[in-house]
Amino acid sequence: MARAAGVSQATVSYVLNDSPNARVSEQTRQRVREAAARLGYVPDQSARTLRTGHSGLVLVPLAPARTGRLVADLLDDMGEEFGARGYTLVQYGERRLKGVAAAKAWAALRPVAIMVDASRLTKASVELLKASGTKAVIGFSAGPSPLVPAVVLDHEVIGACAARHLLDRGCTRLGAIVPREEGIDAMGVGRWKGVRRHAPDAERIDLAFSEEEAAKVAARPDLPDGIFAYNDEYAMLLISALQDAGVRVPEDVAVMGADDLPLASLMRPRLTSVHFDTTASPGELVALVDAIVRGEREAAPGAVMKLFNGRLVVRDST
């Protein structure tokens, strides 16, 4: 490249990076830019990483369980935010690896930060990542993590919000669905606990995502008259089972969901859902990670960053 432009490598570097203290004549700049365009020259990120010692990579290994729209949107927005700050957010698809084996694969890329489901981290893996230069190791989880600072969705608040709404509507005996599904059961328990804040004797109803299981629940003679179904998908599952069983919704049993899925609003009767406003979160989160990476802020293990701050709305279209 340098040869093609008839200048030195260093000059190329200055021009293409708009180096602040670069003293390069406009004429030379032109020559360099023209040569770059002609050759289709693109600086090599790996060489840059090797030289500078940092990759600008923010690694997000995908969660083993498929996550919902909420997380997908969050990642989209964070990608934009990180990009604007000069980082590159990359989703890394290798769901099988766990513990140190996973950490080695991640560390090989020398990411500057990594945001990953806390359940995939161990003490050893966090140490490995830190030792290999990762500035910020952040976990996603349902609660504080002893290993890393964690991004937490406050599931109890969601459950409490739903319970309050059901009680306001006149329900007297509440129940909460807890999904029997690897990876999301912990969140289910959190939401159920939240329901119990307002209804101490709310029943916990474990349910796998299948029509057979739902039919069994719907056939029970002693159903609560208000059920928070964990999220919109489980709510739809439950409602269809109740309808099949001849139970009137919401007259006999009121059902609430959460996540406010677009599809859920198409159910008839319309589904009432807890909606979380996370619009501000991506920016805040990225700013925080940036600060940690730059060493301007500390975040000790056990610290918690809430994914939203009480911005809950019940969308009730009945």
Partner DNA sequence: TTGTATGCGTTATCAT
Partner DNA sequence: ATGATAACGCATACAA
* Segment 262-271 long-range contacts (CB within 8 Å, at least 24 positions apart): 263/232, 263/236, 264/232, 264/233, 264/235, 264/236, 265/315, 265/317, 267/236, 267/239, 269/318, 270/317, 270/318, 271/232, 271/235, 271/236, 271/239, 271/317
Which CA distances in Å does 7 have to 20, 43, 145, 238?
Answer: 19, 16, 53, 70
Q: Stretches 89-97, 179-187, 222-230, 279-287: which one binds a second copy (CB under 8 A)?
A: 89-97
Q: Stretches 23-31, 79-87, 190-198, 276-284: which one binds a second copy (CB under 8 A)?
A: 79-87
DSSP label at residue 66: P
Does 236 engage in binding with a second copy (CB under 8 A)? yes
Which of 299, 281, 278, 279 lies closest to 113 in space, CA to CA? Answer: 299
Which one of 102, 247, 267, 307 is in contact with a second copy (CB under 8 A)?
Answer: 267
Which one of 34, 94, 168, 277 is in contact with a second copy (CB under 8 A)?
Answer: 94
Which one of 114, 128, 205, 307 is in contact with a second copy (CB under 8 A)?
Answer: 128
- In this structure, how many other beta carbons lie within 10 angstroms of the beta carbon of residue 226? 26
Q: Smallest gap, in angstroms, from Cβ of residue 108 to DNA?
A: 8
Q: Smallest gap, in angstroms, from Cβ of residue 100 to DNA?
A: 17
- Beta strands 203-207 and 254-258 are unpaired
* d(C-alpha 1, C-alpha 6), whole Å: 9
Does 237 engage in binding with a second copy (CB under 8 A)? yes
Taking a C-beta distance cutoff of 8 angstroms, is the pair 79, 115 a contact? Answer: no
User: Which residue lies nearer to DNA by CB, 12 or 264?
Assistant: 12
User: Which residue lies nearer to a second copy by CB, 23 or 51?
Assistant: 51
5: which 2 tokens?
């432009």
User: Which residue lies nearer to DNA by CB, 11 or 145?
Assistant: 11
Does 140 engage in binding with a second copy (CB under 8 A)? no
Contact map string, positions 194 to 233, toward a second copy, x by CB under 8 A: ---------------x-x---------------------x
55: which 2 tokens?
């990759």
Biggest alpha carbon distance in the chain?
86
Residue numbers of the site for a second copy (CB under 8 A)?
A: 39-40, 42-47, 49-50, 55, 62, 66, 72, 75-76, 78-80, 82-83, 88-96, 104-105, 107-110, 127-128, 131-132, 209, 211, 233, 236-237, 239-240, 243-244, 262-263, 265-268
